C-alpha cells in the first residue's frame, strides 16, 4: 500500500473530497439499472444505489443519491469508482475485502485503493453502519443479479 495511504491527513482528505464532490452522485431513469434503497435508523443516511450489470457479469455503472453523512457519502462515492468496470466476481472480492477491513480482519489494501480511508472506522462503532450502507446495497444488488442468472 502506498505510504500516502498511511498518512491520517491524506485519508481525511480522501474522505472530505468524496463528501464535498461525490462521484457518480446522480440517479438515472434507465430501466436497465437495478436499485436498492437503504436507510439508517441511527444516522441521517437515506440513500439509493443503482447499478447496471451486463449479461456477461460486468458492472457497467454504479451510482447513488440521497441524504447521507460524510462517512456514508464518501464511502459510497469511493465504492462507485472502485466497482465500475469490474466483473461481478471481482466486485464481490472487493466488497468482501472492505467488510474484512471494517471488521478488523486481514485485508488487501491494494485491492481497496482509496477505500482504505475507512480502515479506522471500526474504532467508532456508531460509524460502521455509515461506512457500510452503500456497500451493503451493492452487495444486495449483486446477489439479486446472481439469482436471476
- pLDDT per position as a tens digit, 127-144: 999 999 999 999 999 999
The pTM of the full predicted model, rounded to 2 decimals, is: 0.94
| Domain 3-147 listed as CATH 3.40.50.300 | no
Task: Specify whether the CB–CB gap between 115 and 75 falls below 8 A.
Answer: yes
Summarize pLDDT for 75-120 with one digit per residue, the tens. Answer: 999 999 999 999 999 999 999 999 999 999 999 999 999 999 999 9
Among candidates 115, 120, 113, which has minimal Cα distance to 135? 115
82 and 92 in contact (C-beta within 8 Å)? no
**Could you read off the pLDDT of 28-55 as tens digits, one per residue?**
999 999 999 999 988 899 999 999 999 9
Amino acid at each position: 500500500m502506498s505510504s500516502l495511504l498511511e498518512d491520517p491527513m491524506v485519508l481525511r482528505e480522501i474522505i472530505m473530497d468524496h463528501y464535498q464532490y461525490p462521484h457518480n452522485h446522480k440517479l438515472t431513469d434507465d430501466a436497465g439499472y437495478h436499485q436498492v434503497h437503504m436507510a439508517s435508523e441511527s444516522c441521517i443516511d437515506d440513500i439509493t444505489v443503482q447499478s447496471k450489470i451486463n449479461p456477461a457479469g460486468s458492472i457497467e455503472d454504479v451510482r447513488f443519491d440521497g441524504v447521507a453523512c460524510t462517512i456514508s457519502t464518501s464511502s459510497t462515492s469511493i465504492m462507485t469508482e472502485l466497482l465500475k468496470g469490474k466483473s461481478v466476481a471481482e466486485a464481490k472480492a472487493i466488497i468482501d475485502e472492505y467488510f474484512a477491513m471494517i471488521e478488523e480482519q486481514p485485508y488487501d489494501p491494494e485491492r481497496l485503493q482509496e477505500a482504505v480511508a475507512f480502515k479506522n472506522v471500526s474504532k467508532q462503532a456508531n460509524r460502521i453502519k455509515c461506512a457500510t450502507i452503500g456497500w451493503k446495497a451493492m452487495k444486495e444488488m449483486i446477489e439479486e443479479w446472481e439469482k436471476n442468472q
